[in-house]
Structure 1
Amino acid sequence: MNSDHLSKRLQTVVRFIPMGSRLADIGSDHAYLPCYAVKKGIATFAIAGEVAEGPYRSALKQVQIEGLTKSISVRKGDGLEVVEPGEVDCVTIAGMGGTLIANILERGKEKLSDVKRLILQPNIGAISIRKWFLENGWMLISEEILEEDGKIYEVLAAEKGDPYTGYNGKLESGLLLGPLLQKKQNEIFKKKWTFEKANWKRILHQLEQAGDKPENRQKKEELLHKISLVEEALRQK
């Protein structure tokens, strides 16, 4: 992968960036995504934010090699602290856990007042992001699920609006599975949740072998509930 040939995962993220965006890519690593977006004319300006020294230096070097120092500002800092209020209108965060992404958004909330779109790609735990959207008035406009190199990823795009849009009264299963993904249910969606369900059943079996301890009882109830949500969703298609 380089800034001319993005991974399938990052290509999916880029697809949701509106033309002419002023972009902040948080956790930018080698800055491939902002370099690609600027070169293709999708973003007019980009910030590549990195908290760790190594990736920050890699991003700096990449932007210099590409000759994009006028259009891309590489900044070292934690999450959205690299962004000034009003500086960008689109934020991408890819390749982290959902809980961490939700924490970054929560800590940097005041930087999002002029942001029109969030595009987030959690490696796991997309439910944390959907919950954050609900609590903060962001409406899911699109969700994608894709497989690359044997791993399954979700990409969530949101804009400000009624956060309950799309859930159709199925809030609990929507938060877990993705309300828009649940409607489409492509093969990768089915594969992911069939695998998750089998994994939960395996854990459930282990808990049952461990005897009736109070702490296990709650875990068993949670697992049984999640299994029933997934089974019901998969039956509906």
Structure 2
Amino acid sequence: MVKLSKRLQMIADRVPVGSKVADIGSDHALLPTYLAQQGIIVAAVAGEVNPGPFEAAQRQVLESGLSKIIQVRSGDGLAVIEPGEVNVITIAGMGGSLMASILEAGKSKLVGVGQLILQPNVGEEHVRRWLLHNGWKLDSETILEEDGKIYEVLTASLAGSEEIGALGMLYKERSLPDGVHVSSERLQQMGPYLINEAPEVWFIKWESELKKLAMIVDQLKLSTAEASIAKAEQVSQEIREIKEVLACLQKVKR
């Protein structure tokens, strides 16, 4: 039986029983193999564009005796599935910008898909923005630390016609208890549910992100170009806003 990492287990726990799943960028096909072994899914496509992982996924499925349930296919993004073939898509372990571009390029393949389970390594705001602009309702956000890295898992469902107009309400600018203003952009960046819950690991993540942003400002300040000066001020403003949010929520938790 396959044993998953904490990160993949968190994704697996969100897959509904009886699903037909496409795992995009499946690597060694560990996630669909686990889901099939646990009887959670009835069918799966493990998609992988890189030859090495594709061959590893084929071996994994063959050795697990799951070839009747899991099809391993070589291809880029959602090109490995046909419209209506699956009802759940999982994508994990890549940047949010790439993830959003995969979803955008494969929009025609999302027919019949009712749930997306997404784990971007960085750039989560790109994923949230894509979901918002394409009729997907962000249902939950979870954050975890594993082996010194911090991951977010986002689940989304296809919004019904009566829900489309209200999707933006999740990212509507809001005020925190002591009056700190949180913009729509910051909610997309930091996570509307995560800001509400503010778990300890989320603070750790954003303290680390602030250090990265400060380094960017320092680099930009080495240049006298007008564009660099403007960008440095923009990033400095972003740092100030993030610090305000963190300070406010830390005070509330105390």
TM-score (norm 2): 0.88
Partner of 1:77: 75
* Structure 2, unaligned runs of 5 or more: 174-182, 250-254
Per-residue CA deviation, residues 160-204 of structure 1 (Å, 9 max, x unaligned), is: 124324324341111110111111111110001112112222332
Query: Does residue 166 in structure 1 map to residue 159 in structure 2?
Result: no
1:211 positional shift = 5.0
2:100 — aligned with what?
A: 102
Deviation at 1:105, TM superposition (A): 0.3
Instruction: From 86, 89, 98, give the equivalent of 1:88.
Output: 86
Aligned residues: 234
Match of 1:222 in 2: 234
Alpha carbons of 1:66 and 1:236: their partners in 2 closer, same or farther (altered >3 Å)? same
User: Helix, strand or coil: the match of 1:152?
Assistant: strand
Render the CA deviation track for 1:31-78: whole Å, top value 9, x for unaligned. Answer: 000000111111111000011111111111100000000000111111
- Is 1:145 equivalent to 2:139 in the alignment? no
* Structure 1 Cα separation of the partners of residues 233 and 17 of structure 2: 46
Assess if the C-alpha contact under 8 Å between 1:173 and 1:233 holds in 2.
Answer: no
Q: How does 1:127-206 map to 2 (within 5 A)?
A: 127-161=125-159, 162=164, 163-169=167-173, 170-206=183-219
Indicate how the Cα distance of structure 1 residues 31 and 211 shifts in structure 2: closer, same or farther if over 3 A, else same. closer
Distance 2:248 2:16 in 1: 33
User: What is the rounded CA distance, in whole Å, between the counterparts of 1:229 and 1:137 in structure 2?
Assistant: 28
Which amino acid in 2 is paired with 1:63? V
- Between stretches 190-199 and 58-67, larger displacement belongs to 190-199
Counterpart residue number, 1:13: 11
Counterpart position of 2:177: none
Secondary structure in structure 2 of the residue aligned to 1:127: helix
SS at match of 2:170: coil
Matched, 1:116 2:96: no
> Are 2:95 and 2:120, in contact at CA under 8 Å, matched by a contact in 1?
yes
What is the distance in 2 between the residues matched to 1:64 and 1:203?
47
Residue identity over aligned pairs, in percent, reads 47
SS for the counterpart of 2:2 is: coil
List runs of 5+ in structure 1 lacking aligned partners: none
Instruction: State how far apart, in whole Å, the 2-side matches of 1:175 and 1:148 are.
Output: 23
What is the alpha-carbon distance in structure 2 between the residues aligned to residue 206 and residue 58 of structure 1? 41
